[in-house]
Structure 1
Amino acid sequence: MIQEWINVTGIITKGHQVASGMTKDSPYPLGTIEMQTPCFKQLGLDISRFFRGTLNINIRPYKFKLYNPQYTFETVKWNPNSPSETFSFSYCQVIYYKAKYIGLLYYPHPETKPTHFQDDSTLEILTHPLDGIKYGQSIQLNLNPNEIDIFSN
């Protein structure tokens, strides 16, 4: 059990909506998370309890670096029409209206990701559906200090 968390506040931002499949011109109508879920389960991480999309949280002026994630899966071939990718995950807590929800920092490594990049101030989080969540809202995260570093420019 994690004794000390890194607590960071961020703003919910609109992502590319490819993870959820909600963008109109997505090459993945079901969303990338739906397509990747069986691959991750086969590798030992079951993400099926989470919403099939990511919560994008901008923590500017801070940036993050994932350095010792609990899970890293290399050469994951989740789509037959794309190259293999590397993914890392770190458990976290999402604090929304004083309630805590378990979550995972979802990190597709940019060096293996073909498109739809995030900047290093935006965390992509897998978590349970959060009623009433809106873009522009403030939200808090508890992050594992043994796996991630938060720093300012």
Structure 2
Amino acid sequence: MAATETPAGTQTFEAKIVPGHQVASGRNLDPRFPGGTIRMQIPHFRELGVDLSSYHPGTINVSIAPLRYEVIAPRWTLRAVKWHPTEPVEDFSFFDVEVLVKDEVVGKGLIYHPHPDTKPEHFQRADVLELLLPFIEGLEYGAVLQLRTDKSQILIS
């Protein structure tokens, strides 16, 4: 599996849906995060200029192994966000992403990247990306998605 360069500085690559910690969606039922971290973060991010209200309030975790990603220049970076009353502040970056099926875009969203150096727990493997997308019917663990990103924001190699 390799990232393929596509027109206008984008790259297309495959990613496999994998289980996550289920904290973003709230499915892990951690009482610290009622309704999930994304629901809790949405108003704080909106105040800082990033509106996530059009996305499903949870992330789709995908593995790009054996590929890796390198942060270049995120679309947005939010620093020292105090989104929870007792958890420490965190930094977040967001990158544009498109989901394709047979070369047709079926969803546009963001790669959600809590910075590992400010994230207190629930770390992701180095090959895992978290996607914020509108709800897409039929996504399930093990499914392989085709993703397209902007190489000037995040480089897949």
- In the superposition, the TM-score normalised over structure 1's length comes to 0.93
Name the CA shift for 1:8/1:112 in 2 (closer, same or farther; >3 Å).
Answer: same
Q: Which residue is 1:78 aligned to? A: 83
Counterpart of 1:71, as a letter, is W
Percent sequence identity over aligned pairs: 40
CA–CA separation in structure 2 for the residues paired with 1:93 and 1:48: 17
What is the CA RMSD across the aligned residues, in angstroms? 1.4
| Other-structure match for 1:22 | 27
CA distance in 1, matches of 2:18, 2:31: 19
What corresponds to 2:3 in structure 1? Answer: none
Per-residue CA deviations over 1:27-58 (Å, capped at 9, x if unaligned) read 31210000000111111110100000001110
Q: Distance in 2 between matches of 1:47 and 1:22?
A: 19
- The answer to whether structure 1 residue 36 and structure 2 residue 36 are counterparts is no
Unaligned runs of 5+ residues in structure 2 are 1-6
Displaced runs of 4 or more, over 6 A: none
Matched length: 150
Given candidates 138, 141, 147, the residue that maps to 2:147 is: 141
1:94 deviation in Å?
Answer: 1.3
1:150 is matched with 156
**Equivalents in 1 of 2:119, 2:153: separation in Å?**
21
Q: What are the ranges of 5 or more consecutive residues in structure 1 without an aligned counterpart? A: none
Q: Give the C-alpha shift of residue 96 in structure 1.
A: 4.1
TM (norm. structure 2) is 0.91
CA distance in structure 2 between the partners assigned to 1:108 and 1:138 by the alignment:
23
Q: Deviations over 1:43-101 (max 9, x none)?
A: 11101000000011100000111121010000000001110000000111112464431
